[in-house]
Structure 1
Amino acid sequence: MGRKKGRDISGWLVVDKPAGVTSTSVVGKVRWALDAKKAGHAGTLDPDATGVLAVALGEATKTVPYITDALKAYDFTVNWGAETDTDDASGQVVKRSDMRPTVDQIRDALTGFTGDIMQVPPAYSAVKVDGERAYDLARGGEQLELAARPLWVEELSLENSKADTAQLHMVCGKGGYVRSIARDLGRELGSLGHVAHLRRVWSGPFDADQGVDFEKIDREAQDWLEAQLLPLEIALGDMPALRATTEGAVRIRNGNPGQVTGTAEFGETVWVGDPAGPICIGRYMGGLVHPDRVFNL
């Protein structure tokens, strides 16, 4: 039998993604540079966007569903006066407006985009429609009516305003589209708008300032790159951490409920470790944890 391709390497690498590169390309380059057997990412960034792209390697890929629920922060610039088919500067202009909002009008409008809102994703997005990606259908010329979906917007503030542009800062939950905010804000103000620049400054525990420069990701620098890896459990900071007993660790590693020390709410999702590292994510059932995902580290 042939050896499975790649190394068993686990952890997180935060990349500061440049514009003009897809999220999939970043993951592919990281996987190649580290010769990793398995890699994925937590939250796609548009090709034109920059900033935090957290790449999960090996067993860290099992923690991706838990990190995608974390809050994310974006700095972005909206250009007033035109709406595009992609809701960003890469698209074709579909409508124009001569109106320009005042600072007070922008600030007043922002209140309607905070808290629990309903948001229609851009036509050019990875949302699935009857099993197909919306952007594939949109590129094929289909007129899409995407359903609105709930979004939690923790914060949306005006950082700077000029005649034709506004710089905004947003903190939001899972599934937020900055391009939709720009589009809907432009419509609300009568000026129309699209995203000109977009940067994800942080995502959960991952910060752009700690991100590795994309150009430095190379096989020649494999040892350096490996030294930049963050531990798997950094993605689990929002859930209680419990410690397995020696016997409990053996049982959990075999997929069975095992004894732990420490407490949590009954039925709560927790992660369990021992001196060797993380063992599992599971549900706390009064002294025992029933594993959902076991880490093979």
Structure 2
Amino acid sequence: MTTYNWGMIGTGVIANEMADALNRVNGSVYAVTALDQDKLRAFAAAKHVTKTYATADELIADPNVDVVYIATPHTYHYAYIKQALNAGKHVFAEKAITVNAKEFDEVQQLAKDKGLILTEGLTLMHMPIYDQVKQLIAAGKLGDINMVQVNFGSLKDYDPQNRFFNKDLAGGALLDIGGYATAFARTFLAEQPNVTLTTAKFFETGVDEQSGIILKNPRQQMAVMALSLRAKQPKRGVVSGTKGYVEISDYPRATTATITYTSDAHATTTQTLTAGNAAEALDYEVRDMQRYIAAGHDDGQLDLSHDVSHIMDGVRNAWGMKFPFE
């Protein structure tokens, strides 16, 4: 497998995980930058990073950097993505890839114009179990898919200053965890939804603390989503058809899917599919990103991110919620 020089922007929790995955899959991390210089030096030493840069500008300008990895608060993604693409770098950005669909459409077009790979860090797009589930559905085993149910709930500490609740940093449940649920829903809907019904409870800072979301597409398929930042929920997705349903627990990094066949009114049968390893979730992301670069295309992943971005914009528009910088 071809290896690449990755340059990392950010040294937070997910960046630590990604550095470990890069060392396992790619063999090394080439460069890293962060605002906190003490954390930067400690990160570089712990992860055996070849070069450190005081600023993202310097890292992006390094001609030896092939891929820029962005693990900053959401509000910085758009500018860094544009800067990296304009510098001729492939980009892997953590979710949410951009704050809104307008930003997304611009960077998607820029990546296309530049002939570069742009990918969003949504683990469920890369877990092997989903290939098996999609093949099962494509074979008609669940009949016609009519309904998707999916939820994601975190219990964040009460802290109005935390980025999760900071409106200036595009906080709130939808952008922080809703991308996973929305990506799950869109994966199993045959068309992009054109109807959105939703309501939200807002945290005191004005961001969405929890919400209920119903989506419907032109084929009358529906998805029902529940999100929360101050109430823990199991990460559970269910895809239901006329012949049965499939349940996927811990769906962002899922390794198991349980199918229940219901076409027989008098009896049900079950089947379990297994694939992958949750501990290797980011390894799969790295492998896929490097495969996309080598192949010159991304297997449609950015198109899925496009639809997710536009769905989430529709939800926020229905709430009438805008961020101060929009």
Q: TM-score range by the shorter chain?
A: under 0.3
Higher strand share: 1
Q: Identify which of structures 1 and 2 has the higher relative contact order when contacts are C-alpha pairs closer than 8 Å and 6+ apart.
A: 1
Higher helix share: 2
The TM-score normalised by the length of structure 2 is 0.23
The TM-score normalised by the length of structure 1 is 0.25
